[in-house]
Amino acid sequence: MKRPLLDVMVMILAAGCGGGKGKQAAMSCEIGGDKSKADLATLESGKTYDVAVRTNKGDFTIELATKTSPCTTASFVGLVQKGFFNGLIFHRIVPGFVIQGGDPTGTGTGGPGYQVVDTPPKGTQYVRVVVAMAKTQADPPGTAGSQFFVVTGANVGLPPDYGILGRVTKGLDVVLRIGKLGNAQEQPTRVVELLRVRVSVR
C-alpha cells in the first residue's frame, strides 16, 4: 500500500532538518544581487530551528529544513533576526493552493535585494504543510529571496523548482483559515499581517 503523499513529504522534510555535527558554513553560499544586503546566519548542524509566525489571524510554526536547504534557511534566519518580516503581509492568497508573503513592497515584486540558491531534490512534491520560496520563472530552480509560500492544497502539482524552507508543525488550522481569505484574482479579502516572526533553536 502506498504511503499518502503528505506522509512521504513530511518524512523527507523531517530528514532534512538538522543532522551531522559542527556548523553549516553560511559563507559558502553563493549570493546573487547586492551582497552587502546579505547577512546569512550560521546554523548549527544537529539542531532544529523553528520559526514562530504571529499574525493578526493567529499563529503558526515552521520547522526549517536546514539540511535540505542550508543557504535558504541561513538567509531566512538572518532576515528574521533583523526583523525583516515584522509588519509585512500575505499579499497573495489563492484558496486551495498557497498563501504567500515576505515581500516588503506588498506587491509580489519585492525582496531583500539579494538571492541564494538551494536546488530542491528531484521528486520534491509541494503538498499541504510544505513551506517553500517563491521566485520568478526566469530564476534558476531553488532561487530564494524573502518571499515564501505555504501550501494549503493537498498536492498543488508544482514542479520541483522552488527552494524548500520547511514545513508547518503547529497552527496548520490557522494557515488553512488564512488560505480561505483570497479571491479569484489571488488577492487577499482581508489584511493578514505578520505581526512578529521569531526563530528558536532546540
Mean pLDDT (10-residue bins), the chain, 202 residues: 35 39 61 94 95 98 96 97 98 98 96 97 95 96 98 94 98 98 96 98 96
Host H or E run for residue 190: none
Question: What pLDDT, on the 0 to 100 scale, is given for residue 27?
Answer: 55
User: Does residue 192 lie in a domain region?
Assistant: yes
Q: Which of 149, 157, 110 has its CA nearest to residue 133?
A: 149
Quote the number of domains for the chain. 1
User: Does residue 134 lie in a domain region?
Assistant: yes
How far apart are the C-alpha atoms of 97 and 105, rounded to whole Å? Answer: 22
Burial 139-150 (b: 16+ CB within 10 A, else e): beebbbbbbbbb
Host H or E run for residue 177: helix 172-178
Neighbours of 121 (CB within 10 A): 13
User: Does residue 151 lie in a domain region?
Assistant: yes
User: Does residue 29 lie in a domain region?
Assistant: no
Query: How does DSSP classify residue 85?
Result: T
Q: Return the biggest CA–CA distance within the chain.
A: 51
Question: What pLDDT, on the 0 to 100 scale, is given for residue 10?
Answer: 37
CATH of the domain at 157: 2.40.100.10
Question: What pLDDT, on the 0 to 100 scale, is given for residue 26?
Answer: 56
How far apart are the C-alpha atoms of 1 and 85, rounded to whole Å? Answer: 42
Asked if 92 and 98 count as a contact pair (C-beta separation under 8 A), the reply is: yes
Cell digits for 18? 538538522
List the domain range (segments joined by +) for residue 104. Answer: 5-17+48-201
User: Does residue 31 lie in a domain region?
Assistant: no
505581526: which residue's cell?
A: 195
User: Does residue 156 lie in a domain region?
Assistant: yes
User: Does residue 23 lie in a domain region?
Assistant: no
User: Does residue 153 lie in a domain region?
Assistant: yes
Q: Which of 43, 33, 46 has its CA nearest to residue 70?
A: 43
